[in-house]
């Protein structure tokens, strides 16, 4: 910006630019870039870095002055490589040590906390014991293929195997491209088997009723301390409500007694546990921001009342001291991991098909509604979908008796 001084001469005044958000995310702990307003840094970017060596000693502050942010960025990258020059294959770095370095220095500035947590789980469960002790320069394509085959033999699902391979590929890619401590990535051009679309598993109303009754027979005396072979009462209520009302998992977790109209026998679904882009769980509107009302039977209401001890607030609150944001108050909902775990226990101990997942209870409900000939529009409204295509493609299962009945009716029509 030009400024005219008292003598009438035009002077150049340095403006203070804003540091781009993308550049802020590039910086790690102990690094900062600021605009110099006084000599000798007036009108230039100043980069400072504070690092500790292997003995914990704080190294002197390093500074770089430039008007170009690209030069600053290259200087910071060079300093990072210099600080970690001990991370070389010759020094005996193992994959586990490299994983700890990435988890501490790289991932916190690039990935959400939820993503880091998922990576940590896959590392501990599927990778650490097999590859963690090996040196980086000793891992080749043969070892990677052998590791993937080991996961497949252990019965690990194809989606999980694919994510594990991506995690390992990303770790080696960082070692090759960013820190240049390896010449090549052993995970390149190694593909995993593609998993096709999962087949829905629907059950009959008779089997669902038998499973619920069996679950009540195996109900634990104390929900917080089930014995082997027992299931807590709250998971029985959730599964029954999913079967007979078609609620989603997040809607069941956030279900309150205020949503249940006992006189009209209706559940108003207007809240659910959702996860935002940062990985934070919160209670808000259901999927598609669409509320709906679902009629329920007297039997389902009896099951709900029998599987909980509360009559206000959350129907199935958690015992853990853990909350999620719901506007101003904090509510305690059942964690998703607990719901998944105890559904598997109920499935294996009470007679549900082994391929069934929690979402299939909602598909089963949609299939039952279709068998009642309610029509796609009505089923779509009850399930809370935005389009009929979603209901037909992903939820409704046309069984063989319905196809045979349609064929017989068509044969009678054209005869």
Could you tell me the sign of the dihedral formed by the alpha carbons of 15, 16, 17, 23, in that order? positive
pLDDT of residue 195: 54
The 10 Å Cβ neighbour count of residue 330 is 11
pLDDT tens digits, 73-92 = 888 877 776 665 454 444 56
Residues 6+ apart with CB under 8 A from 381: 292
Report residue 73 as tokens. 């960025």
| Angstrom distance (rounded) from CA 125 to CA 205 | 37
pLDDT tens digits, 336-356 = 878 988 999 999 999 999 889
Longest dimension (CA), the chain: 106
Q: Is 269 helix (H, G, I), strand (E, B) or coil?
A: strand
* Per-chain mean pLDDT for the chain: 80
Express the helix, strand and coil content of the chain in percent, nearest 5 each: 50, 15, 40
Contact (CB, 8 A) for 231 and 219? yes
| Angstrom distance (rounded) from CA 114 to CA 409 | 53
pLDDT of residue 145: 92
pLDDT band at 369 (very low <50, low <70, confident <90, very high): confident
pLDDT of residue 91: 53
pLDDT band at 402 (very low <50, low <70, confident <90, very high): low
Q: For the residues of 165-227, what is the DSSP string, one character each?
A: HHHHHHHHHIIIIIS---S--TTTT--PPPP-PPPP----HHHHHHHHHHHHHTB-SSTTSPP
pTM (whole model) above 0.85: no
């Amino acid at each position: 910006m030009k400024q005219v001084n008292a003598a009438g001469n035009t002077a150049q005044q340095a403006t203070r630019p804003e540091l781009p958000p993308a550049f802020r995310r590039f910086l790690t702990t102990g690094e900062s870039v600021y605009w110099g307003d006084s000599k000798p840094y007036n009108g230039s970017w100043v980069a400072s870095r504070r690092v500790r060596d292997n003995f914990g000693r704080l190294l002197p502050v390093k500074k770089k002055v430039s008007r170009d942010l690209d030069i600053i960025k290259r200087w910071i990258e060079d300093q990072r490589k210099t600080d970690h020059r001990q991370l070389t294959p010759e020094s005996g770095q193992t994959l586990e040590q490299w994983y700890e370095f990435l988890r501490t220095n790289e991932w916190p500035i690039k990935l959400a906390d939820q993503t880091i947590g998922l990576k940590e789980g896959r590392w501990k469960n599927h990778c650490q014991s097999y590859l963690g002790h090996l040196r980086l320069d000793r891992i080749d394509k043969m070892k990677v293929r052998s590791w993937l085959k080991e996961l497949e033999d252990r019965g690990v699902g194809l989606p999980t195997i694919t994510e594990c391979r991506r995690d390992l590929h990303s770790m080696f890619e960082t070692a090759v491209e960013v820190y240049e401590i390896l010449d090549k990535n052993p995970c390149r051009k190694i593909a995993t088997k593609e998993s096709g679309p999962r087949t829905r598993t629907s059950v009959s109303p008779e089997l669902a009723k038998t499973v619920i009754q069996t679950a009540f027979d195996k109900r634990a005396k104390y929900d917080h301390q089930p014995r082997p072979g027992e299931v807590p009462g709250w998971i029985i209520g959730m599964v029954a409500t999913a079967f007979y009302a078609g609620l989603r998992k997040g809607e069941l977790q956030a279900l309150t007694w205020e949503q249940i109209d006992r006189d009209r026998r209706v559940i108003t679904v207007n809240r659910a546990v959702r996860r935002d882009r940062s990985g934070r769980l919160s209670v808000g509107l259901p999927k598609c921001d669409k509320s709906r009302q679902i009629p329920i039977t007297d039997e389902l209401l009896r099951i709900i009342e029998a599987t909980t001890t509360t009559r206000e607030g959350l129907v199935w609150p958690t015992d853990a001291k853990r909350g999620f944001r719901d506007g101003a108050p904090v509510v305690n909902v059942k964690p998703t991991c607990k719901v998944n775990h105890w559904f598997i226990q109920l499935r294996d101990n009470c007679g549900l098909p082994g391929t069934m997942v929690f979402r299939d209870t909602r598909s089963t409900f949609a299939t039952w509604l279709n068998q009642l000939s309610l029509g796609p529009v009505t089923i779509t409204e009850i399930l809370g979908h935005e389009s009929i295509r979603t209901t037909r493609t992903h939820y409704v299962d046309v069984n063989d008796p319905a196809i045979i009945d349609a064929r017989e009716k068509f044969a009678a029509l054209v005869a």
